[in-house]
């Protein structure tokens, strides 16, 4: 084999190996990003459930507070007249 053909073969082997390695690393990186997306989605859904639960509690507390205010106002009105 001539020196030129050895150099060409060496360069092509290096380029091929680097291409394969790059594709492999990019696939691993993409898989990790996809996994992180799923994890973020699950966390977001949990936060949404928690926020809805807290909102429901706030609605109940607001109803109770408004009811207590109405009762207090009703007790005070007969005394004013």
- Assigned domain for 7 exists: no
- Assigned domain for 13 exists: no
- pTM confidence score: 0.58
Domain count, the chain: 1
- Give ∠ CA 42-48-52 in degrees, rounded to 5: 150
- Assigned domain for 18 exists: no
Give the separation between CA 40 and CA 14, rounded to whole angstroms.
38
Average pLDDT over residues 20-35: 98
**Structural domain for 47, as ranges:** 30-75
Paired tokens of 73: 């106002």
Radius of gyration of the chain (CA): 35
Where residue 81 falls among pLDDT bands split at 50, 70, 90?
low
């Amino acid at each position: 084999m001539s020196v030129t053909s050895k150099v060409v073969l060496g360069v092509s082997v290096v380029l091929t190996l680097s291409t394969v390695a790059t594709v492999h690393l990019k696939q691993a990186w993409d898989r990790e990003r996809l996994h992180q997306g799923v994890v973020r989605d699950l966390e977001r859904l949990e936060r949404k459930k928690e926020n809805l639960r807290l909102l429901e509690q706030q609605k109940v507390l607001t109803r109770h507070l408004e009811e207590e205010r109405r009762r207090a106002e009703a007790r005070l009105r007969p005394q004013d007249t």
